[in-house]
Structure 1
């Protein structure tokens, strides 16, 4: 028989295009007996509270019925929300030979981190099956196992496979030949290793073949899916796909020979139907190449470029505007846009890229990645009296090397106006000795109006460049360097970004160009360049070493350790005095700046250390700021 696993890039509420992508994917699999689509692929997974709308449930059922004529001589599994007795379930429909055969409903709901499934769905009870009336027929729904002729298959939907009790289910007793896993498993750095082991363990413990298909792309703004496909038999993993592709969908086909097991156990959960399996001529392990194991920097590059591409086209933005300071963060944003352009032309072809970006004027004249980058990325270096030639040169050389449009704005006259207004209002001169923070912040805020205006005039998306390390301690000026519609780096730390830029300066990652012009950026120590040049302002002098900051943030927020527990970890490498100073600085700034994190532009979710208060890490805006805990450390150790 032939199995096909589809990875697909869908968009919430984009009904017509979602359906057309599904139909196109089915059309590419005329010889497939089984076609597996990912979880919620009919509606998209990220519909949020629209799942609570009766309209969405009705529309998804209408679309399912539209697919029935496309299931001739095929068994198609496709995810959708399903209402049963006024309750909503995360389901997968099995359609075959132009009929609905039944529905499997998810039994274990993801309800941590990014996921709020219990807000919208009910978990289906174990070993329970009912019937509902749909399309003029009574159809089984629930914890269904399906038997076609003598071939028996079942489902695990995403979280079902992550449960520690998964092998205690009745699936272990039913002589299964195949398990299908439609997933909406979000991307995170390093997560693929966990997924791979789940598939291997599932095939081994259920003693059957196992096929897994994940969603792909930046579906709804923050969450990226990696389009992973796995196929395993009970003895070994046979295939693992490339991930994070730029296609609308990919069809992975497997020609396999399976001898159905003797079925000596029955169950009321088994749904029987018949199907004429098509003959296939030879074994074939997917029509796409298998994946190599990706390093963290490669995963980051692929996820970010996919996320940027999808965000741009799904928001109908005509490119990006970037305030390019010559530092690590804005340089990373610029290189990601350039590598996105390279990927589009390499992976989709020049002509297909032009077709995808048809709504952007000037695409017809694009001939290469640099042309595309010039069309899509406008960089602005915004100089004040405190800016220096090092950062200006770094910004200009980098923009030139990637082909981006480059502009120089002198914002000092604007700042003079604001300083004059404030001095007149206060009746005194402003001075660095007494007004340091306000004098710094006005420079960052003075850079916002010009780039916002550029974004408005071009119909482009303004990128804000703050990273997670800065977000943790509020080392960013609200309505200054935080202004923008998308914050692509707010989900990753400064240490990672510095290492990443050093690597892509000298190495080609994922077959994409290295960028030697980054040497101008990498040679610098991070600086905000907001104080007078003679002070030689450095980020790490204002804060602490970024390695320490990122370590404290990880221990405090991800691992939920107390200040004292973190102190005991830090003192393995630093003096007690320094440890306390670092902790006082971190927890004071962390607690003081939650309001800033609440206002950050949407950011991509990249790992399990996210600080996004809307999807991952909640903290009170007003708090005691760990004062007692810090006092106890000082009293005990110093």
Structure 2
């Protein structure tokens, strides 16, 4: 298309999010416009798709002759972002005349053209006599470092999934270990991004928060104000749980502002094991009690699966999390 004289290329894209993918996109677009000259408008989708199976990271761009002139945010909570750039088409023509492309262009088959009665520029007199219009200058593309990209991607996905599903919030079985603690911090990161969006004047974000919390006049001043309304953590203690993991879970939830509960699952685990013992006439034991590796694994899985079932049921009562008779806080 460039060899056939096309000066402005518009790419309406839906490129899914992937760690460090923005670098690849930029390299491809820059190389093609640097080699052939031209204006490239890359308009990428943003947010999650209809069923929340795929996420798009936005970061739309306008480039001219390999130079980035404008860029939208990556992993934004805004449903739509508009970016603009003021460009002189003569720059494209001058650039193309300075590189070795004329022979190649002349050898290309004629590209199909459709004549349209439209203009992409201001009227000539407005351009010549305007004291406001200025050509856009090259900018440095903002590329998030890997940790920030992971943080912002998780925040955007969690928030948009929550608002799309019209759910009351998130429930997490918090063990005091690294994995569940990381997930808890992702939710706290979501709250920080939501608060920043609200403070930046995004009325839709505030409206969505009020809708899912059921508080039409809600105002928030810190991330914890959001977390305590949308996040319920639960420490599910068993026979061999230690005070150290219980303390870690409690201290983490206190710092991020989550609603926290502490329950004991020994009763459900014991009843489950009774069923297995009656069916097989055999009582599995932990390895430290003399059991085999298979018995040890089975015993741990019984606890994990019971925690999963309890988490599913408890999450159904998220709306009642502030009722001390249902979920006594600790």
TM-score using structure 2 length: 0.79
Unaligned stretches of 5+ residues in structure 2: 321-330
Q: Distance in 2 between matches of 1:175 and 1:206?
A: 10
2:113 paired residue number: 270
Whose RCO is larger (CA < 8 A, sep 6+)?
2
2:67 paired residue number: 236
Q: Distance in 2 between matches of 1:323 and 1:225?
A: 29
1:440 paired residue number: 300
Q: Secondary structure at the match of 2:81?
A: strand
Give runs of aligned pairs for residues 96-495 of structure 1, distance below 5 A: 171-219=1-49, 220-259=51-90, 261=93, 267=110, 269-276=112-119, 277-278=121-122, 279=126, 281-283=132-134, 285=136, 291-349=141-199, 352-363=204-215, 364-368=217-221, 369-432=223-286, 433-434=291-292, 435-458=295-318
Q: Distance in 2 between matches of 1:330 and 1:391?
A: 11
Q: Secondary structure at the match of 1:317?
A: coil
Q: Distance in 1 between matches of 2:271 and 2:229?
A: 34
Q: Secondary structure at the match of 1:269?
A: coil
Q: Secondary structure at the match of 2:150?
A: helix
Unaligned stretches of 5+ residues in structure 1: 1-170, 461-638
Q: How far does residue 411 in structure 1 lie from its aligned partner after superposition?
A: 0.5
1:546 paired residue number: none
Q: How many residues align?
A: 288
Q: Distance in 2 between matches of 1:209 and 1:237?
A: 10
Q: Distance in 2 between matches of 1:205 and 1:429?
A: 73
**Would you tell me which structure has more strand in proportion to its own residues?**
1
Q: Distance in 2 between matches of 1:410 and 1:251?
A: 52
**Would you tell me which structure has more helix in proportion to its own residues?**
2
Give the RMSD, CA atoms, in angstroms. Answer: 2.6
Check the 8 A contact 2:88/2:135 in 1, yes or no: no
Q: How far does residue 427 in structure 1 lie from its aligned partner after superposition?
A: 2.6
Check the 8 A contact 1:240/1:290 in 2, yes or no: no
Cα distance 1:441–1:268, how it changes in 2: closer, same or farther (>3 A)?
A: closer
Q: Deviations over 1:273-329 (max 9, x none)?
A: 22244246412649xx96533111011001111111111111111110111111121
Q: Secondary structure at the match of 1:273?
A: coil
Between 1:343-352 and 1:195-204, the stretch displaced more is: 343-352
